[in-house]
């Protein structure tokens, strides 16, 4: 999903539904950020989350032949290319957690 389409979708949701929470954050352990929107929809409480992160250009693995040695993985990220992923979640009251909804219609 493109950032322009995300902004259009957010505007449509704000016009149609009651927004409960909205915010942004940084990804843990890797470069990138996310933006989310929680609202009351026809299926109950829903959350949309757009994750933006740089494209991985290369993956370097460093190993050792010694017994018990660990493996280190280093990623090389693009400075000007980014990927965007839309996540759609529904709040499960019984288990009290966000359950991901996987549907082809949400992909770009």
Total domains present in the chain:
1
pLDDT in tens, the chain (108 residues): 888 999 999 999 999 999 999 999 999 988 999 999 999 988 889 999 999 999 999 998 888 777 777 888 888 989 999 999 999 999 988 888 899 988 665 565
- What is the structure's pLDDT at 106? 55
At residue 67, the pLDDT reads 79
The gap between the terminal CA atoms of the chain, to the nearest Å, is 5
What is the Cα–Cα distance from 90 to 46, expressed in whole angstroms?
Answer: 5
pTM of the model: 0.78
Burial of 46: CB neighbours in 10 Å, binned 0-12, 13-18, 19+: buried
Provide the domain limits for residue 77.
Answer: 3-106
Euclidean distance between CA atoms 63 and 86, whole angstroms: 35
Q: How far is CA 61 from CA 37, 64, 70, in A?
A: 37, 10, 11
């Amino acid at each position: 999903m493109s950032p322009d389409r995300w902004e259009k979708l957010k505007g449509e949701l704000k016009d149609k539904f009651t927004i409960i929470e909205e915010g942004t954050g940084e990804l843990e352990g890797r470069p990138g950020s996310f933006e989310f929107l929680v609202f009351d929809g026809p299926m109950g409480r829903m959350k949309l989350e757009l994750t933006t992160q740089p494209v991985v250009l290369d993956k370097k693995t460093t190993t050792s032949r010694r017994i018990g040695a660990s493996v280190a993985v280093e990623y090389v990220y693009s400075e000007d290319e980014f990927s965007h992923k839309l996540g759609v979640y529904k709040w499960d009251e019984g288990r009290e957690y966000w359950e991901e909804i996987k549907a082809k219609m949400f992909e770009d």
